[in-house]
Structure 1
Amino acid sequence: MYHPFKTFLLPCLLSLFFCSSCHQNNHQDLSPSKKKYSVYILGKDGKEYLLETDSLNSGSLRPEEKGALLDGEVMDRDVIVHKGYYYHLSRKKASFEKYKLNGSTLTLLAAMPLKDFSIENFNWVSKDTLLLTGLNKSDYTQVKYILVNTDKMLKVSAGDINIPRPSGKFTSVSIGFAELRKDKMLLGYTYNEQLSSSNYSTSDTTYVSVIKYPEMRLIKTDKDTRSTSPGGTNTIQSYSFNDEQGNYYFMSCPGIALGNRPELPTGIFRINAGQETIDKSYFFDISGSIIQNHAYGIWYLGHHKAIIRSERKDLFKGLSDHYSTAHFEFYVIDLIKKDIKKLALPLDKGTRRECVIVKDNIAFIAVNSTLNGNYIWLYNISDGTLKKGLQLAGDTDFIMRADKLN
Structure 2
Amino acid sequence: MRLPTGLSPILFTFLAIFALGLGLSCTHEDKQVDAALQFEPAYSLFVSKNGDNNFLLIDSSWQQVGSVKPPHKGFNREFIQRNGFVYSINPQNDYLIQYQISSAGLQAKDSIKLVNDNIEQYHWKNNSDTLLIANVVHGDTETCRFYEIDTKNFSLIREQNVPIPPAVNDFSILSIGLIHYENNKLWIAYAYSKMLSHTEYTTLDTMYYRTLDFSSLRVLSEQKDARSTYPGGINTIQTYSGTAENGDFYFSSGPGIAAGNAIQLPSAIFRKKKGDDQVDTTYMVNISQQTGNHAYGFWYLGDNKAIIRGEQSDKYTDFSNHHLVYQFEYYLVDLVSGKMEQLALPLDKGTRKENVVKVGDDIYIAIDDEKDRHSVWRYNLKTGSFSQHLTPQFPIDYLLRLDKLQ
TM-score (norm 1): 0.90
CA-CA distance at 1:388 after TM superposition: 1.1
- Worse-matched range after superposition: 370-379 or 100-109: 100-109
Q: Percent identity?
A: 32
TM-align CA RMSD = 2.3
Distance 2:356 2:274 in 1: 25
Distance 1:355 1:267 in 2: 20
**Does 2:191 align with 1:185?**
no
Q: Residues 10, 66 of structure 1: CA spacing in aligned structure 2 closer, same or farther, 3 A cutoff?
A: farther
Counterpart position of 2:132: 131
Counterpart position of 1:147: 148
Comparing both chains, which one has the higher relative contact order based on Cα–Cα distances under 8 Å and sequence gaps of 6 or more?
1
Could you tell me whether the CA contact under 8 Å between 1:84 and 1:100 is conserved in 2?
A: yes
Secondary structure (helix, strand or coil) at the match of 2:75 reads coil
Counterpart position of 2:196: 195
Distance 1:362 1:82 in 2: 20
Counterpart position of 1:53: 58
| 1:373-394 deviations in Å (ceiling 9; x for gaps) | 0111111111211111111232
Amino acid at match of 1:36: A
**Does 2:370 align with 1:402?**
no
Distance 1:66 1:162 in 2: 46
Distance 2:270 2:21 in 1: 34
Could you tell me whether the CA contact under 8 Å between 1:5 and 1:233 is conserved in 2?
A: no
Counterpart position of 1:310: 310
- Worse-matched range after superposition: 123-132 or 183-192: 123-132
1:201-240 residue pairs with structure 2 within 5 A? 201-240=202-241
Could you tell me whether the CA contact under 8 Å between 2:141 and 2:166 is conserved in 1?
A: no
Q: Residues 293, 307 of structure 1: CA spacing in aligned structure 2 closer, same or farther, 3 A cutoff?
A: same
Counterpart position of 1:17: 26
Q: Residues 327, 161 of structure 1: CA spacing in aligned structure 2 closer, same or farther, 3 A cutoff?
A: same
Amino acid at match of 2:68: A
Distance 1:335 1:325 in 2: 29
Distance 1:369 1:71 in 2: 29
Q: Residues 275, 127 of structure 1: CA spacing in aligned structure 2 closer, same or farther, 3 A cutoff?
A: closer
Counterpart position of 1:163: 164
Distance 1:106 1:140 in 2: 36
Q: Residues 345, 187 of structure 1: CA spacing in aligned structure 2 closer, same or farther, 3 A cutoff?
A: same
Could you tell me whether the CA contact under 8 Å between 1:21 and 1:106 is conserved in 2?
A: no
Counterpart position of 1:359: 359
CA-CA distance at 1:140 after TM superposition: 7.1
1:2-401 residue pairs with structure 2 within 5 A? 2=7, 9-10=18-19, 13=22, 15-21=24-30, 34-43=40-49, 45-55=50-60, 57=62, 59=63, 61=64, 66-70=66-70, 73-103=73-103, 105-116=105-116, 118-125=118-125, 127-138=128-139, 141-289=142-290, 291-401=291-401
Secondary structure (helix, strand or coil) at the match of 1:223 reads strand
Could you tell me whether the CA contact under 8 Å between 1:250 and 1:268 is conserved in 2?
A: yes
Unaligned runs of at least 5 residues, structure 1: 24-32
- Worse-matched range after superposition: 225-234 or 107-116: 107-116
Amino acid at match of 1:179: H
CA-CA distance at 1:16 after TM superposition: 5.0
- Worse-matched range after superposition: 195-204 or 109-118: 109-118
- Worse-matched range after superposition: 98-107 or 331-340: 98-107
TM-score (norm 2): 0.90
CA-CA distance at 1:55 after TM superposition: 3.4
Unaligned runs of at least 5 residues, structure 2: 1-5, 33-38
Distance 1:102 1:311 in 2: 35
Distance 2:235 2:82 in 1: 14
CA-CA distance at 1:134 after TM superposition: 1.5
Distance 1:221 1:274 in 2: 16
Could you tell me whether the CA contact under 8 Å between 2:307 and 2:332 is conserved in 1?
A: yes
CA-CA distance at 1:5 after TM superposition: 10
Could you tell me whether the CA contact under 8 Å between 1:298 and 1:308 is conserved in 2?
A: yes
Distance 2:163 2:106 in 1: 38
Could you tell me whether the CA contact under 8 Å between 1:366 and 1:376 is conserved in 2?
A: yes
Q: Residues 140, 321 of structure 1: CA spacing in aligned structure 2 closer, same or farther, 3 A cutoff?
A: farther
